[in-house]
């Protein structure tokens, strides 16, 4: 008796916006409010914030600003649990206890698939937060707020989430697009020169691979970029981010083949 095989095939469209702003948590900046309202929900959305400790140290007013912002827009959002600060840098991805801590928070504060898990920090913290959000309840909507040049123009705007394991970088992870990415240029003002220039190096690499005009822009504006000229940096971040998103949408978003030309 021959039993025919069954075949399943379907497509899922992924879509998310990368926004650029300044003063994200100023009460009169409605970007976060507007992004949340796009989901069409009627009730105030539960929102949980995880903050890189390096960002918290450089921006001591941030916690109060977040709390005040949510309170000013209470018809759209409400804090679901206390703002959580975790260690930043690559080391955070080597700590299973941090994954467990954030999963415990999801459980304790009843964060569900209609809630929002928000990461504020450099690329490593965003990787960790995205990973936790993507595995809890099979996927909680997560929002990324990158705070370094590199995370604003590359690592924080993509679809990868991961932590390290077995001594291997990004051994555990997945491809789960964020609900939105919110780039606030004011976070860049407190970066050390090393971190400021590290993101420029990524843009330089991408320009050499794909865009001679962009390379010429970087070359022509090298002195301005080194002197931390903000308009030049804003253009660099925007163009590099644009090219990164184009690469993701170029036919192999989940990197089944070669990840780079």
Residue-wise pLDDT for 194-211, tens only, equals 999 989 999 999 999 999
Domain end among 191, 212, 239:
191
CB distance 131 to 161 below 8 Å:
yes
**What value does the mean pLDDT take over residues 80-101?**
97
**Residue 182 and residue 121 share a domain:** yes
Per-residue confidence (pLDDT) for residue 252, from 0 to 100: 67
Is pLDDT of 111 > 70?
yes
**Residue 110 and residue 39 share a domain:** yes
Residues in the chain: 261
Confidence class for position 259, pLDDT limits 50, 70, 90: low
Total-model pTM: 0.94
Contacts of 146 (CB under 8 A, 6+ apart): 121, 122, 123, 126, 152, 155, 156, 157, 181, 183, 187
Cα separation, 19 vs 41, in Å, equals 21
Q: What range does the domain containing 116 cover?
A: 17-191
Per-residue confidence (pLDDT) for residue 258, from 0 to 100: 63
**Residue 99 and residue 22 share a domain:** yes
**Residue 199 and residue 184 share a domain:** no
**Residue 157 and residue 42 share a domain:** yes
Cα separation, 71 vs 119, in Å, equals 19
Q: What is the mean pLDDT of the chain?
A: 94
CATH code for the domain in which residue 47 is found:
3.40.50.1970
Number of domains comprising the chain: 2
**Residue 201 and residue 172 share a domain:** no
**Residue 86 and residue 158 share a domain:** yes
Contacts of 233 (CB under 8 A, 6+ apart): 149, 185, 188, 196, 225
**Residue 196 and residue 121 share a domain:** no
């Amino acid at each position: 008796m021959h039993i025919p095989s069954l075949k399943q095939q379907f497509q899922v469209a992924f879509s998310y916006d990368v926004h650029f702003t300044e003063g994200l948590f100023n009460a009169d900046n409605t970007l976060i409010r507007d992004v949340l309202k796009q989901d069409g929900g009627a009730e105030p959305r539960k929102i949980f914030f995880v903050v890189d400790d390096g960002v918290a140290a450089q921006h001591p007013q941030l916690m109060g600003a977040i709390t005040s912002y949510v309170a000013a827009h209470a018809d759209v959002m409400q804090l679901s649990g206390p703002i959580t600060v975790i260690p930043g840098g690559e080391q955070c991805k080597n700590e299973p206890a941090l994954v467990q801590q954030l999963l415990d928070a999801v459980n304790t504060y009843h964060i569900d698939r209609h809630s929002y898990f928000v990461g504020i920090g450099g690329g490593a913290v965003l990787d960790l937060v995205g990973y936790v959000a993507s595995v809890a309840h099979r996927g909680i909507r997560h929002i990324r707020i990158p705070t370094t040049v590199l995370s604003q123009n590359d690592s924080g705007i993509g679809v990868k989430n991961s932590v390290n394991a077995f001594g291997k970088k990004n051994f555990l992870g997945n491809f789960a697009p964020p609900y939105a990415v919110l780039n606030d240029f004011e976070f860049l003002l407190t970066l050390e020169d090393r971190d400021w220039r590290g993101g420029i190096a990524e843009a330089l690499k991408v320009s050499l691979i794909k865009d001679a005009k962009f390379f010429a822009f970087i070359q022509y504006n090298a002195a301005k970029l080194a002197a931390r000229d903000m308009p030049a940096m804003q253009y660099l971040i925007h163009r590099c981010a644009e090219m990164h998103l184009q690469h993701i949408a170029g036919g192999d978003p989940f990197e089944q083949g070669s990840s780079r030309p």
